Each structure stands twice: as structure tokens, then as C-alpha cells.
Amino acid sequence: MSNSPLIRALDRGGIAFLVILAIVGAAVTLANLMLPPTSPLHVPTYLVALLGKYVCYALLALSIDLIWGYCGILSLGHGAFFALGGYAMGMYLMRQIGTRGVYADPIRPDFMVFLNWPELPVYWYGFQHFPYALLMVLLVPGLLAFVFGWFAFRSRVTGVYLSIITQAMTFALMLGFFRNNFGFGGNNGLTDFKDILGFNVQAQGTRAGLFVASCVALGLGFLLCRTIVNSKFGLVLIAIRDAEARARFLGYRVEAYKLTVFTLSACMAGVAGALYVPQVGIINPSEFAPANSVEAVIWVAVGGRGTLVGAVVGAILVNYAKTVFTTGALAPYWLFMLGGLFVIVTLLLPRGIVGTIGDWTERWRKRETAAAAAAEPSPAE
């Protein structure tokens, strides 16, 4: 039982992360729901939604770290899977509006009525049911990743070529979703959501519930990733990252391992997008923008590639900085600051914040161990 990957995942670091996440999730929720607005400890509802967005970004970063940090697959198109999961949830939320829309059509969303769509497209069927929408949140990004990975990995496309192809994929999807005849709202996307599971999506309690759901999803995603990287499967992924040709020579089906972890990562990104949409209230084609995928990779690099915790830390820190610096006089210079941050981290902290702290801690422990061993008297004395 002690050799179980799940047990090994729950080491001191893993348990500490999950405990901190649980404390933060509970504290923010209680401070929002239980404390009066006049209390200095009250967390306003808009801040709960903002923190929930950060948590969704952290789950997206975690999915990228799983493939990049442990398998060497640098995807610059993971924003596509995030957006597809968001659109699947957005379609469910649009079907819940019913006659409360501007045109009061019980079936067709407002944008379809405005564009004179005669009937609801077939691919919108079933999205009035929440279980079906959840299935599509996982199935659509996962299927796209599986098909893309099947051709890319079987053709042994690696390195920068794979990164460019993933970016081309998300750019193509962005252009497609911008078209009005695609059936997803065109440039405006999907918005004006009313309910989720019968609860007002704008209500304070619903916002708090979505934040808690996001924290739970992040915790489960973290636990899943830790279990994978601590298993034999994870060891093979690391071997592929460090020496793919040697792993293939030893008889491992490298393409199968890559395809499996890439598909799983896409499903995680889809879940992050699905939780993101009801909290921000909109999903449009700009979420497919290649710059968003590049920015997500920067989160992982800043926090620490190949650490999992670092991906979460990087996503939260960088997005908090984005919130601060995109308001006021510094707003036009945010992208320059983000690029400069990436360059600085690459040159001075190549292992990211968490990875560098881990290195410093390990060196300190080794020095302490060596000093203790030198202080002990030898048996001859």
C-alpha cells in the first residue's frame, strides 16, 4: 500500500498545498457570506469572482506543467482547450435563459434570433441538460487533443515545430469562432447568463459556490497530477522528456504515452474553462488568441516548470500583477513588463520561483548535514 502513487503523492508538500488551498477556499467563502459588508474582514463578491478566475487560471497552468514540465511537450495552444471547455459551459448557460432573453425565444439564443437562424443547430442539442454539458466539457477538448496528438506524435513532430503547430491550431479556431455562421455568437460570443443549476449566476451565494467548486477542481487536478508523476507512468514521462530517443530504444511506446498525457491535460484545461465562464460572465473568440496560450506558458515558467506547485503560484502571481498593472498609467506597458519578467526569470531563475527555492533549500540541507557529520567525533577518538 505504501508503494501506491496516490500515497506517495500525499507527502508533506502535497498535503501542505491541499491544506492551504482548503483554508483559503473556506476563509474567502465564509468572509464573503458570513461577515457583514461593514466588517474589515469582509470579502466583497466581486473579489470572490476575481479570485475564482485566478484559481481557474491556476488549473490551466497545472495542465500545461503536466505535459511541459514532465514530458517536454511545449504546447502554445492550450488556450484552445480552455476556450472549448468554456464554450461548452456557455452553451449550457445560454440554453437556461429561455424566454428571459431580449427576444423571448424559448429555444434559440438571442444572437440566433437576431441573425435570423431558422432553428437551433444540431450541435446545440442536449446542452439544456447539465450532465450532457459536463460531458462535452471533457469530451470536446479531449477529442481535439486526441486527434491532434495522434497525427502529431505519430509523425514524431517535436520541439519548436510542435509548439508552432499548436499555436496555429488555436489561431485557426479563433478565426472560425469569429464567424457569425459558425453558430457560437461570432465576435460577441456567449453572454447575458441567468442561471446555473437553477441558481442565479449573479447571486452572492452562487459566486461563492463557484469559487469553492474551482478550488475543489484545482485540488483534484493537483492530486491527479501528483499521482501521475509519482507513478511508473510518470517516470516514463520524465524519461521521454530527458531522452526520448533512448526511451523509444528501450521499447516504450513514446507516442502512446505522449498522446495519453496530452489528452488528459486538454481535459483539465477544458474543466478550467468551464468553471471560468460563469464567474466572468462571458466567453468569446478572444479566449482562443495565441497570446493567451503564450501567457499561460509564462505563468508556468515564472512559478517553476516541473514542480506543479510552481505552476499554481506562477498563475496567481502573474495574474494578480496583471490586475494591478493594467489599471492606471502603467496599463499600456503591461505586455512589456510581462515579457521582461519572462526574460528575467529565464536568465536569473531558470527553474522558476518554486524550483529555485527548492534548490536553495536542498543545498542548505546538504550543508547542514555535512556540517553535522564533520562535527561528530570519529570512532578512533
Computed over its alpha carbons, how large is the radius of gyration of the chain?
A: 23
Entry field: residues in the chain: 381
What is the per-residue pLDDT across 303-331, written as a single tens digit (0 to 9) for each?
A: 999 999 999 999 999 999 888 888 777 77
What is the per-residue pLDDT across 95-127, written as a single tens digit (0 to 9) for each?
A: 999 899 899 999 999 999 999 999 999 999 999
What pLDDT shows up at residue 370? Answer: 77
What SS3 state is found at 195? strand
Instruction: Determine the Cα–Cα distance for residues 112 and 116; give it in Å rounded to an integer.
Output: 6
191, β-bridge pairs: 282
C-alpha cell at 136: 462535452
DSSP state of 76: S
Q: How confident is the model at residue 378 (pLDDT cuts 50, 70, 90)?
A: low
CB atoms near residue 7 (< 10 Å): 12
Give, in order, the Cα–Cα distances in Å from 14 to each of 17, 26, 220, 222, 298.
5, 18, 11, 8, 23
Task: Please identify which residue in the block is written with the cell numbers 474589515.
Answer: 40
C-alpha cell at 332: 499600456
CB atoms near residue 169 (< 10 Å): 22
Instruction: Determine the Cα–Cα distance for residues 94 and 90; give it in Å rounded to an integer.
Output: 6
User: What are the percentages of helix, strand and coil residues in the chain, rounded to 5?
Assistant: 75, 0, 25
What is the per-residue pLDDT across 167-194, written as a single tens digit (0 to 9) for each?
A: 999 999 999 999 988 999 999 999 999 9
Q: Please say if the pLDDT value at position 1 is more than 50.
A: no
Q: How confident is the model at residue 348 (pLDDT cuts 50, 70, 90)?
A: confident
What is the per-residue pLDDT across 210-244, written as a single tens digit (0 to 9) for each?
A: 999 999 999 999 999 999 999 999 999 999 999 99
